[in-house]
Amino acid sequence: MRVHSVLPRVAAAALAVSAGALPAEVVDVADNGFTVKLTVTVAAEPAKAFEALVNVAKWWDPAHTFSQDAANLSIDAKPQGCFCERLPGKGAVVHMTVVNVVTGKLLRLEGGLGPLQSLGAAGSMTWSFQPAEKSTAVELRYAVGGYNPAGFKGLAPVVDTVLRSQLDRYKRYVDTGKP
C-alpha cells in the first residue's frame, strides 16, 4: 500500500482519537523533516513515571498498532533494546530501537513510527523526566528527517496529533492506572 493513500486515513484516525487532547507543538517543519515537542506533568516520581512509560502495553492506543492490540507491544529499556510489537503468525514489528537509557531520567529511541517506516526517514524520540513537587514533568521530543516525495509539511501535524493522543493516554495511566 502506498504511503500517500494511508496518510488521509491516519490523519482522520488521529483527529478522532485526539478529541479533547491538549495542544502540542510542531517545533519546526521543512521539506526534509520536522520536530514535535510535547510536555505533560504526571502525578508520580520520575522512577515511577519512567516505569510506566516502559510498560507501553498498558497505555498505548491499540488503534495505533499493526495488530490492533496494545498488549502485543513491549519496550526493552536497554541499549539496542526494542520497542517491538508481536504480530499473528509469528510476525513482528520493530517500531524503534533504544539508544540511550538513564532510568528515571531519559529514554531515547530511534526509528520511524507508523507510516514513517515506509519512507526514507529516520527519527529520534527522546522522553525526558524532570522531578517537580510530588510530580514529574515529562517531555516527549520526536525529530524526523529524510526523504518523502510529498515532503513533511503535511505529515508533521498528523504525527503531532497522534503523539499528543498517546501522551494523554500515558498521563491518564500514570495518574489513574487506566489510559
What is the tens place of the pLDDT at every residue in 71-104? 999 999 999 999 999 999 999 999 999 999 999 9
77 in helix, strand or coil? coil
User: What pLDDT is recorded for position 21?
Assistant: 41
Residue 164 pLDDT exceeds 70: yes
CB neighbour list of residue 118: distance below 8 Å, 6 or more residues apart: 3
Output the DSSP codes for 49-73: HHHHHH-GGGTS-GGGSSSS-GGGE
Cell numbers for 8: 488521509
Q: What is the CATH number of domain 23-64+103-176?
A: 3.30.530.20
In angstroms, rounded to a whole number, what is the distance separating the alpha carbons of residues 157 and 171?
21
The answer to whether 66 touches 84, Cβ cutoff 8 Å, is no
Give me the chain's average pLDDT, please: 89
Q: Where are the domains of the chain?
A: 23-64+103-176
Share of the chain above pLDDT 70, in %: 87
Q: What is the pLDDT of residues 126-155, one digit of tens each?
A: 999 999 989 999 999 999 999 999 999 999
Which pTM was predicted? 0.86
Question: In a 10 Å sphere around its CB, with 0-12 CB exposed, 13-18 middle and 19+ buried, how is residue 46 labelled?
Answer: buried
Residue 122 pLDDT exceeds 60: yes
User: What pLDDT is recorded for position 4?
Assistant: 41
Report the length, in residues, of the chain: 179
In angstroms, rounded to a whole number, what is the distance separating the alpha carbons of residues 162 and 178?
18
Residue 10 pLDDT exceeds 60: no
How far CA 135 is from CA of 35, 103, 155, 169, in Å, comes to 26, 16, 32, 17
The neighbour count for residue 1, using CB atoms within 10 Å, is 7
Q: How many helices (H) and strands (E) does the chain have?
A: 3, 8
